[in-house]
Amino acid sequence: MSDPNQGNQQAPGGGFIGKLRAPWRSMLDESPRAVRAFWVGSIIILLLLAFADLFVHHHAHFGIDGTPGFYSLYGLGACIVMVIVSKFVVGLVLKRRDTYYDD
């Protein structure tokens, strides 16, 4: 039997984000099948939406944006670029020399 107060525990780091993560952490520990079902359901919905995109008339402004799946690929590409750029920028701000604390 699981502890009924387990979902109410404050996650490391605390605060608002910790409260949001706590139920998901306990769900993963207790029911990997539920997590798998969530992923499978999400992928099925994604595929259904991508299939439905084939039947929607797009009003193209630049030619290429009228092709089916363009906005999905555009969103994926923008997300990848944001992750790479943010890793670079955050790396410049947060990285320190190995001897930073020795000085």
pLDDT in tens, 72-93: 899 999 999 999 999 888 888 8
Radius of gyration of the chain (CA): 22
Instruction: Report residue 11's pLDDT band, with 50, 70 and 90 as the boundaries.
Output: very low
CA–CA gap between residue 29 and residue 22 (Å, rounded): 11
pLDDT at 1 over 50: no
Please state the pTM of the whole predicted model.
0.53
Q: What is the DSSP string of 12-39?
A: TT-HHHHHHHHHHHHHHHH-HHHHHHHH
Find the range with the poorest average confidence among 1-5, 40-44, 73-77: 1-5
